[in-house]
Structure 1
Amino acid sequence: MSFINPNAFTTRPEIDGTFGVVASTHWIATAVGMGILERGGNAFDAGVATAFVLQVVEPHLNGPLGDVPVILHDVRRGRPDVVCGQGPAPAAATIEHMTGLGLDMMPGTGLLPAVVPGSFDAWMLILRDHGTMRVRDVLEAAIGYAARGFPLVERIPATIGTVETLFREHWPTSAAVYLPGGEVPRPGALFTNPAMAETYARIVREAEAGGGSREAEVERARKAWSQGFVAEAIDAFCRTQEVMDTSGRRHGGLLTGQDIASWQATIEEPVALSYGRYTVLKAGFWSQGPATLQQLALLSGFDLGGLDPAGPDFIHLQVEAAKLAFADRDTFYGDPDFVRVPAETLLSDAYTDARRTLIGETASLDYRPGTIEGYGKSIGARVGGERTAVGASGAGEPTVGRIPTAPRAQREKMGAVSGDTVHFDIVDRHGNMITATPSGGWLHSSPVIPALGFPLGTRGQMFWLDPAHPQALGPGRRPRTTLSPTMALRDGNPYLAWGTPGGDQQDQWIPQFFLRHVHAGMNLQEAIDAPAWHSEHFPSSFWPRTSRPGVLVVERRVPEATIAELRRRGHVVEIGDEWSEGRLTAASRDGHRLRAAANPRGMQGYAAGR
């Protein structure tokens, strides 16, 4: 039995067609991706072009020097692949270096947490091996919008406003770009970034300079980035600048041109979990993606089919499963190239069955990671409802303390503004499918490198300064990213691609969407529009690592009776705005039928297709 609301309606139609569908977190990027499909490009060409445009039109959410995991299915190869565009820590990035600077936690901004930027090489790898177009074709729209302007969505000036003082007093290169005429730009104003446009235009020129095949052009573009003028500009900036960061002090950078030249994006098999007739695919344990798989494994032991997806039983079960999965995330996940991750055990029936017994009728306020002999390290328990911060002491032991409320303005002054992410999903008429969650390189993450027009990413803030922890900082290690695209097969065939921005919330909204679609019979748009929620029970992956044990934030559209029952069960329920949870997009393929949907929240996301 499925619960279907007979009065259901959607904010916009579910896109339905046979030619191709594109869904992204910004309408301009969706239009560009659809334009590529109309010109004869495939889903991978469209994905690369969409990604570059998102860097331009959502600079507060991602940038060229950020990172990305991608899941794709190429019908010619007949298998799903993960493309890892998550760059590693620099060779000089050691725990000893950080503690020698007096730090017990990685800064959230500046130059110290910069890792090798991974997005560009990942997109070029996809273009070369799976696309059909040339470098110019996938970059010309991004260059055009950066050079001629794009309308600013409201959140961009709002983000700039929170770091205006930082830019004026400490990051003048960012002020030069993001405070045009010395002022915070207005929402809706046309905004340009000529230096960014020139960087990508130069990439195109250098790619085309030697002539030859499409593949040869792609390789020259990769070289210009990792061994040419881009890497040189990053190297020079990190060597010569000391910049203010969230520690309240100035620090130089550790990233070098050699670090960038030594790394390339890689192809991996996805991690998979069977869930009924579906096989759900995620990136590996260097991401938080398997937390969705652990939640689904736990929830497979409950009968969700007859539950109201906005009711207390449904929400309670999903939230309690998330608490267990995320506690395991923080205890066991890490870069498998450097640490032993008990991947098979974490997704095994025996381990899951034992963990499932911890889900009771009332909300847990405890931090409860599993125990697997010889693996992982807990970051410490937190009990109660107050906001806490988690760091590492000089001895390498986790420390917990209250986050004082007074320094908030000071933290914002130092750039401690929450970053977010973008996402897109594309399916073409051939059945090719791609889903990606680009992020990092936010306008407020690090000062703009003037020779390039954009800043470095700060994904290194996710490392722990505890050598015994699986997510410990170390040269060449990938930080355990929150970025988490998802793909699902149905009866063995590629069926669904979806994801969302949201940091630690990504792998809370992602399973909610899937469960509503699978168990409640909702179409893609209904499953996106439905009331949503998130838990803040576990530590944030971002500086300053806050957690709020027991806190459950729900949209105001969740029924009052549900909220009352959740509170009776012990959840510390906070009520957000009616449309405040998530920025999901999704696309699916059922035979020749293609569908897509995008989030109305924030009035940016759009789906298109025919």
Structure 2
Amino acid sequence: MFTTRPELTGTFGMVASTHWLASAVGMRVLEAGGNAFDAAVAAGFTLSVVEPHLNGPGGDVPIIGHRARDGHTFVVCGQGTAPAAATLGAFGDLGVEEVPGTGHLAAVVPGAFGAWLDLLTRYGTLPLADVLGPALAYARDGYPLLPSAARTVSTVAEMFAAHWPTSAAVYLPGGQPPAAGARFTNPDLACTFERLLAEAAAAGQDRDAQVEAARRAFYEGFVAEAVDTFVQTPVVDATGRAHAGLLRGEDMAAWRATEEPTVSADVLGVQVHKTAAWGQGPVLLQQLRMLEALDVAPLVRDAVALEASGVADDGTGPVTRLVHLVTQVAALAFADREAYYGDAPDVPLDALLSREYAAERARLVGDDADATLRPGSPGGRAPVLPSRVLADRAGGGGVSASAGGLGEPTVSPVGLTPGDTCHVDVVDRWGNRVSATPSGGWLQSSPVVPGLGFALPTRAQMFWLEPGLPSSLVPGRRPRTTLSPAMVLGAGHGFAFGTPGGDQQDQWTVPFLLRHLLGGLDLQAAIDAPSWHSTAVQSSFAPRTHTPRGLVAESRLGAGVLAGLAARGHAVQDAGPWSLGRISAAGVRADGLLVGAANPRGQQGYAVGR
């Protein structure tokens, strides 16, 4: 099987991420004696600087960690909550029927900074200065601006100049968008990091006291004060009108990152760990359960063998059948996501993840693409769907969604984006592992807080302004995020993995896992293999598009496969040869060797290790 790069193997450590600078920083920390948790924090902070269109220090991050010495596997939740003032009535008074995808109204508590500090305190070993220092240096001294970041800034430059002057001050140096590859600095962000480290140093020599002092400075001190003041200033958002925000310093002071158990399933011969249903993570487990019930293993092996042989699938062979099967399973699982998932106390996860329910749902998969939204009734529960979704589906319509190649945001001139993110995976020589998916605080979606150099998360756009839904807006509730880190554990082996891509995160990882776990491909080959996803699932982001029977596929699957899928009723969109997914992975092989791999698409993700 052709691969763009080798799967890395070694004995000391592996870091894989969506940006080569973050991977290098994480490896530097491992070389300096840090563990996987230290390295993940350093890489995460670096990503918040060098991929500002995909995440920021004021964004969100769920983290899954595995401590090797005792097998403890856990989630650190860095998904901030809705402000206390964010009620359905407050939005009704403003005449807003849907939380806009940009601006102050969508702001929730910024959780990423607190989550990284929580991981460092509980599981890391190094001082805060050692893990925040590289990110500070890139903000102060500069880094090469990614072409995708430059395009994003150029797209929203007019809005910045006209409506978001604080963003223009940072991202339009000299009044013009920066060029791709230009050395880009963010002096205000560097000063923010320096002030946080000064607060930490003033707390004395104790490492944990230093980390806590920095946390307080962010959530109760100068950062929270700046956020509180700025959010009360109306800014133009995706409604075309100017609105002040509802987030306040008190919301930030009341919030802390939390540790909680993972949600897991024993499936396909391994144990797969995800977050709970305040994120979309369990939807991956549902898909794998259904595919297991459909006995997909022989089909995967046949598809992998055919792809390796170089013989084209004529549209009736195993590759076509596999893509169809996986896509139909995705539609069923994501229908359940719409009906049941959210930060609610009564999500029926046990029933949703049961083998009996998976078998029941798998029986709905037919030979042709289905255009209906078909949530099930786990444990006898009746599905509850947003009225907007029911109306759209009843009309048989839909709004065509972009293919969104590479998992990058599709940015409009008003900054509206279906969302995207970054990812980092780490394994160290002791076997500790981390999978983290930082996101939010996108430069194009929220204006820069003056003096701080970063933007706020707009994750409240994922709430429905309709009561009684699992994902309805409720003060203090977490929005149902698409961020979805993951961990596979086996007998003495396993790996951390994940990808950016909004709703596609738990679609692109399905063929990756099938090809690796059942088809025998190594991690790099499984990442490199052609991918696909359904756009028939309801988007989580404003304006919540979907395409009936929509299927986006890489052309490398073959013309015969794309034609065969169209013949089965899929509305096929050719996304080009190398466009879908940014998966990375790092872990431990069954023989004890460490492994790492990263996505070649977009020419920025890299794995490093030795």
TM-score when normalising by structure 1: 0.93
Q: Per residue, is there more strand in 1 or in 2?
A: 1
Distance 1:204 1:375, change over 3 A: farther
**Which residue is 1:276 aligned to?**
268
Residue type of the alignment partner of 1:209: A
1:424-470 deviation line (CA, Å, top 9, x unaligned): 10000001000000000000111101120111110000000111111
Q: Secondary structure at the match of 1:454?
A: coil
Query: What displacement does 1:296 show?
Result: 0.4
1:340-382 deviation line (CA, Å, top 9, x unaligned): 1111111112222211111011111111111344554123442
Counterparts of 2:263 and 2:486 in 1: how far apart (Å)?
A: 10
Q: Secondary structure at the match of 2:412?
A: helix
1:28-61 deviation line (CA, Å, top 9, x unaligned): 0000000000011000000000000000100000
Counterparts of 2:439 and 2:396 in 1: how far apart (Å)?
A: 30
Counterparts of 1:385 and 1:44 in 2: how far apart (Å)?
A: 48
Partner of residue 58 from structure 1, selected from 30, 43, 51 = 51
Residue type of the alignment partner of 1:484: S
Query: What displacement does 1:180 show?
Result: 0.6
Q: How many residues align?
A: 580
Residue type of the alignment partner of 2:53: H
Counterparts of 1:447 and 1:463 in 2: how far apart (Å)?
A: 21
**Which residue is 2:332 aligned to?**
324
Contact 2:107–2:245 under 8 Å retained in 1:
yes
Aligned-pair identity in percent equals 53
2:35 paired with 1:42? yes
Q: Secondary structure at the match of 2:170?
A: helix
Distance 1:319 1:384, change over 3 A: farther
Counterparts of 2:237 and 2:382 in 1: how far apart (Å)?
A: 33
**Which residue is 1:419 aligned to?**
419
Partner of residue 388 from structure 1, selected from 381, 399, 406 = 399
Query: What displacement does 1:302 show?
Result: 2.2
2:195 paired with 1:195? no
1:471-523 deviation line (CA, Å, top 9, x unaligned): 000100000000000101113x4511100000000000112211110111110
Q: Secondary structure at the match of 1:22?
A: strand
**Which residue is 1:72 aligned to?**
65
Partner of residue 354 from structure 1, selected from 360, 377, 383 = 360
Counterparts of 1:62 and 1:225 in 2: how far apart (Å)?
A: 17
Query: What displacement does 1:303 show?
Result: 2.9
Query: What displacement does 1:416 show?
Result: 1.1
Query: What displacement does 1:384 show?
Result: 8.4
Superposed, which structure 2 residues align to 1:497-512 within 5 Å?
497-512=496-511
Residue type of the alignment partner of 1:26: H
Counterparts of 1:413 and 1:27 in 2: how far apart (Å)?
A: 29
**Which residue is 2:521 aligned to?**
522
Aligned-pair RMSD on alpha carbons?
Answer: 1.6
Counterparts of 1:193 and 1:139 in 2: how far apart (Å)?
A: 15
Contact 1:67–1:439 under 8 Å retained in 2:
yes
Counterparts of 1:538 and 1:597 in 2: how far apart (Å)?
A: 29
**Which residue is 1:595 aligned to?**
595
Distance 1:109 1:389, change over 3 A: farther
**Which residue is 1:19 aligned to?**
12
1:534-557 deviation line (CA, Å, top 9, x unaligned): 110021101111111101010111
Contact 2:294–2:362 under 8 Å retained in 1:
no
Q: What stretches of structure 1 of length at least 5 have no aligned partner?
A: 1-7, 391-410
Contact 1:243–1:251 under 8 Å retained in 2:
yes
Counterparts of 2:140 and 2:70 in 1: how far apart (Å)?
A: 38
Partner of residue 377 from structure 1, selected from 374, 378, 384 = 384
Contact 2:167–2:447 under 8 Å retained in 1:
yes
Superposed, which structure 2 residues align to 1:253-332 within 5 Å?
253-307=245-299, 308-309=303-304, 311-332=319-340
**Which residue is 2:405 aligned to?**
none
Contact 1:365–1:384 under 8 Å retained in 2:
no
Counterparts of 2:243 and 2:499 in 1: how far apart (Å)?
A: 33
Counterparts of 1:115 and 1:474 in 2: how far apart (Å)?
A: 12
Query: What displacement does 1:568 show?
Result: 1.2
Query: What displacement does 1:75 show?
Result: 2.1
Counterparts of 1:261 and 1:82 in 2: how far apart (Å)?
A: 22
Counterparts of 1:103 and 1:563 in 2: how far apart (Å)?
A: 41
Query: What displacement does 1:562 show?
Result: 1.2
Counterparts of 1:454 and 1:502 in 2: how far apart (Å)?
A: 22
Query: What displacement does 1:415 show?
Result: 1.7
Counterparts of 1:129 and 1:413 in 2: how far apart (Å)?
A: 42
Contact 2:268–2:517 under 8 Å retained in 1:
no
**Which residue is 1:480 aligned to?**
480
Contact 1:341–1:375 under 8 Å retained in 2:
no
Contact 1:340–1:375 under 8 Å retained in 2:
no
**Which residue is 1:464 aligned to?**
464
Superposed, which structure 2 residues align to 1:47-446 within 5 Å?
47-239=40-232, 241-307=233-299, 308-309=303-304, 311-336=319-344, 339-372=345-378, 373-374=380-381, 376-379=383-386, 380-381=389-390, 382=393, 386-388=397-399, 412-446=412-446
Query: What displacement does 1:413 show?
Result: 3.0
Contact 2:77–2:259 under 8 Å retained in 1:
yes
Contact 1:95–1:473 under 8 Å retained in 2:
yes
Residue type of the alignment partner of 1:557: R
Q: Per residue, is there more helix in 1 or in 2?
A: 2
Contact 1:550–1:572 under 8 Å retained in 2:
yes
TM-score when normalising by structure 2: 0.93
1:115-165 deviation line (CA, Å, top 9, x unaligned): 111111111111111001001000110000000000011101100111111
Counterparts of 2:382 and 2:475 in 1: how far apart (Å)?
A: 21
Distance 1:205 1:111, change over 3 A: same
1:174-215 deviation line (CA, Å, top 9, x unaligned): 011101111111111000000001101111110011212111
Tell me whether 347-356 or 23-32 shows the greater mean CA deviation: 347-356
Q: Secondary structure at the match of 2:273?
A: strand
Counterparts of 1:213 and 1:111 in 2: how far apart (Å)?
A: 37
1:286-330 deviation line (CA, Å, top 9, x unaligned): 000000000001000123233305611111111111000001001
Counterparts of 1:290 and 1:521 in 2: how far apart (Å)?
A: 24
Counterparts of 2:208 and 2:68 in 1: how far apart (Å)?
A: 20
Counterparts of 2:168 and 2:477 in 1: how far apart (Å)?
A: 32
1:384-424 deviation line (CA, Å, top 9, x unaligned): 8854399xxxxxxxxxxxxxxxxxxxx93322134310001
Residue type of the alignment partner of 1:437: T
Q: Secondary structure at the match of 1:71?
A: strand
Which runs of 4 or more aligned residues in structure 1 lie more than 6 Å from their structure 2 counterparts after TM superposition? none
Counterparts of 1:559 and 1:446 in 2: how far apart (Å)?
A: 40
Counterparts of 2:597 and 2:72 in 1: how far apart (Å)?
A: 24
